[in-house]
Amino acid sequence: MLGFVLRRLVSALGLVFAVSIVSFALIQAPPGDYGDTIKATAMSRGGMGEADAERLAQQTRETLGLNDPLPVQYAKWIGGIVTRGDFGPSFVQNRPAADVISERIWWTLGIALVCHILATVIGCGLGIFAAVNQHRWGDRAATVIAFLGMTIPRFFMALVILYLLAFVWRSPTIGSLFSAPYVFAPWSFAKFLDLAAHVWPIVLIAAFGGLAYNLRVMRGNLLDVLRQPFVEAARAKGLPERKVIMKHAVPNAVHPLVMNQGLIMPYMVSGELEAAIILAIPTIGPLMLQSLLVEDIYVTASIFMLLAVILVIGNFLADVALAALDPRVRQGAFR
151 and 241 share one domain: yes
Give exposure, 163-196, as e/b (b: 16+ Cβ within 10 Å): eebeeeeeeebbebbbeeebeeeeeeeebeebbe
Domain count of the fold of the chain = 2
Residue 158 CB contacts under 8 Å (≥ 6 apart), including other chains: 201, 205, 274, 275, 278, 279
126 and 37 share one domain: no
37 and 118 share one domain: no
Q: Is the pTM of this model over 0.75?
A: yes
* Confidence at residue 291, expressed as pLDDT on a 0 to 100 scale: 92
| pLDDT in 10s for each residue of the chain, 335 residues | 677 678 778 888 888 888 889 888 888 888 888 999 999 989 988 788 889 999 999 999 999 999 999 999 999 999 999 898 899 999 999 999 999 999 999 999 899 889 989 999 999 999 999 999 998 999 999 989 989 988 999 999 999 999 999 999 988 888 899 998 999 999 999 999 999 999 999 999 999 988 888 999 999 999 999 989 999 898 888 889 899 999 889 988 887 787 777 667 777 888 888 899 999 899 999 999 999 888 999 999 999 888 888 888 877 777 777 777 666 666 654 44
132 and 280 share one domain: yes
Domain that holds residue 58: 31-86
285 and 177 share one domain: yes
56 and 184 share one domain: no
Q: Do the domain assignments include residue 221?
A: yes
* Helix extents (H) in 227-254: 229-236, 241-243, 250-253
80 and 187 share one domain: no
**Phi, then psi, of 184 in degrees rounded to 5:** -110, 10
116 and 220 share one domain: yes
State CA 137 to chain mean position distance: 33
Q: Decide: residue 225, CB within 10 A, 0-12 exposed, 13-18 middle, 19+ buried.
A: buried
Picking from 311, 316, 267, 308, the residue whose alpha carbon sits closest to that of residue 22 is 308
Residue 197: give its domain's CATH number. 1.10.3720.10
162 and 290 share one domain: yes
Q: Do the domain assignments include residue 219?
A: yes
* Confidence at residue 32, expressed as pLDDT on a 0 to 100 scale: 85
* Confidence at residue 334, expressed as pLDDT on a 0 to 100 scale: 43
94 φψ region: left (φ > 0), alpha (ψ -120 to 50), beta (else):
left
131 and 49 share one domain: no
